[in-house]
Chain A
Amino acid sequence: MLENQQEFLKTSPYSLTHEEKRKKFTEYMNELTKYHYENSAEYKKMLEGLNYSPQKNYELEELPFLPVGLFKEYELHSVPKEKIVKTMKSSGTSGQKQSKVLLDSATTRSQSRCLSYIIADFIGSKRLPMIILDTEIVKKDPRLFSARGAGIIGFSMFGRDVFFALDNDLKLKADELKNFIETHKENKFVLFGYTYIVWQFFAQEMKRLEINLNISDGDLFHIGGWKKLKDAAVSAEIFRDSLKNVCGNIKVHDYYGMAEQLGSVFVECEHGHKHCSIFSEIITRREKDFSPCDFGEVGIIELMSVLPSSYPGHIILTEDEGRILGEDDCPCGRKGKYFEILGRVKQAEIRGCSDTYGN
Chain B
Amino acid sequence: MDNLEKYKAAFKEAFEIDDAIINDELAYESIPEWDSVGHMRLMAAVEDTFDIMLETEDILDFGTFGKGKEILLKYDVTI
Q: In the bound complex, do residue A127 and residue B53 qualify as a contact, i.e. CB atoms below 8 Å apart?
A: yes
For A124, give the chain B residue with the smallest CB separation: B56
- A residues 136-181 near B (Cβ < 8 Å) are 138, 142-144, 150, 153-154, 156-158, 160, 162
Q: In the bound complex, do residue A157 and residue B56 qualify as a contact, i.e. CB atoms below 8 Å apart?
A: yes
Once A105-B28, A105-B29 are accepted as A-B contacts, the answer to whether A120 and B56 lie under 8 Å apart by CB is yes
Q: What B residues does A109 contact at CB under 8 A?
A: 60, 63
Kindly state whether residue A72 has any CB partner on chain B within 8 Å.
no
0/1 per residue, B38-67, Cβ < 8 Å to A?
Answer: 001000000100000111110110010000
Chain B's nearest CB lies how many Å from the CB of A270? 22
Number of A-B residue pairs, CB cutoff 8 Å, is 42
By a beta-carbon cutoff of 8 Å, the part of chain B in contact with chain A is: 28-29, 35-37, 40, 47, 53-57, 59-60, 63
Q: A109-B60, A112-B60 are in contact. List 8 more A-B contacts (CB 8 A).
A: A85-B29, A113-B60, A116-B57, A142-B37, A144-B35, A144-B37, A157-B40, A160-B53
Kindly state whether residue A346 has any CB partner on chain B within 8 Å.
no
Q: In the bound complex, do residue B40 and residue A143 qualify as a contact, i.e. CB atoms below 8 Å apart?
A: no
In the A-B complex, the 10 residue pairs with the closest CB atoms: A153-B36, A105-B29, A85-B29, A138-B37, A116-B56, A157-B59, A113-B60, A112-B60, A153-B37, A157-B56
Q: What A residues does B35 contact at CB under 8 A?
A: 86, 143-144
Q: What A residues does B47 contact at CB under 8 A?
A: 160
Once A126-B55, A127-B55 are accepted as A-B contacts, the answer to whether A157 and B60 lie under 8 Å apart by CB is yes
Q: In the bound complex, do residue A125 and residue B56 qualify as a contact, i.e. CB atoms below 8 Å apart?
A: yes
Q: In the bound complex, do residue A125 and residue B55 qualify as a contact, i.e. CB atoms below 8 Å apart?
A: yes
Kindly state whether residue A90 has any CB partner on chain B within 8 Å.
no
By a beta-carbon cutoff of 8 Å, the part of chain A in contact with chain B is: 85-86, 105, 108-109, 112-113, 116, 120, 125-127, 138, 142-144, 150, 153-154, 156-158, 160, 162
Q: In the bound complex, do residue A150 and residue B28 qualify as a contact, i.e. CB atoms below 8 Å apart?
A: no
Q: What A residues does B40 contact at CB under 8 A?
A: 153, 156-157, 162
CA distance A64 to B38 in the complex (A): 38
CA distance A41 to B63 in the complex (A): 32
Q: What B residues does A127 contact at CB under 8 A?
A: 53-56
11 A–B pairs (Cβ distance < 8 Å), ordered by A: A86-B35, A108-B29, A108-B36, A109-B63, A125-B56, A127-B55, A127-B56, A153-B40, A156-B40, A157-B60, A160-B47
